């Protein structure tokens, strides 16, 4: 279990019991502060999770907690196709970071938010 999370061991065991192996992966994303809540002045909200970082760029996926959807291929394979988990690690990370108060917050213009929601941009794109 990661050392910086304000979570009790018994809470971790409960989360792991319900959500399986994705619980540790989700907690790791929270611990790395990889979850950003993006919102616009018109009230739209989504979560972006950093799913990879390299020397030249970082990759983000936009998760929609209202419908439990993540656009990454692993979600399609593990949750929709193989039905291996109740919830995907990126979506669970958004719930945990929100509950624990550890998600980054970013306010965007409506135009930028529209691009994110349509899948044409990430919050960090210029």
Condensed to tens digits (0 to 9), the pLDDT of residues 6-55 reads: 556 778 788 888 888 888 899 999 999 999 999 998 998 889 998 876 55
Range of the domain at 114: 4-118
104 falls within a domain: yes
63 falls within a domain: yes
Q: What is the pLDDT of residue 54?
A: 54
Residue 69 near residue 76, CB atoms below 8 Å: no
Name the band, by pLDDT with cuts 50, 70 and 90, for residue 106.
very high
19 falls within a domain: yes
31 falls within a domain: yes
Number of domains in the chain: 1
75 falls within a domain: yes
- Report pTM: 0.78
Q: What is the pLDDT of residue 7?
A: 58
Q: How many residues does the chain have?
A: 126
């Amino acid at each position: 279990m990661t050392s910086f999370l304000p979570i009790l061991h018994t809470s971790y065991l409960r989360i792991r019991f319900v959500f399986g192996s994705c619980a540790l992966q989700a907690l790791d994303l929270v611990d790395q502060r990889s979850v950003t809540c993006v919102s616009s002045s018109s009230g739209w909200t989504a979560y972006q999770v950093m799913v990879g970082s390299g020397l030249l760029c970082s990759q983000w996926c936009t998760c929609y907690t209202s419908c439990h959807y993540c656009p990454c291929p692993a979600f399609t394979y593990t949750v929709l196709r193989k039905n291996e988990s109740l919830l995907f690690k990126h979506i669970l990370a958004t719930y945990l970071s929100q509950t624990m108060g550890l998600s980054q917050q970013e306010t965007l213009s409506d135009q930028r938010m529209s691009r994110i929601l349509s899948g044409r941009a990430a919050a960090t794109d210029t």
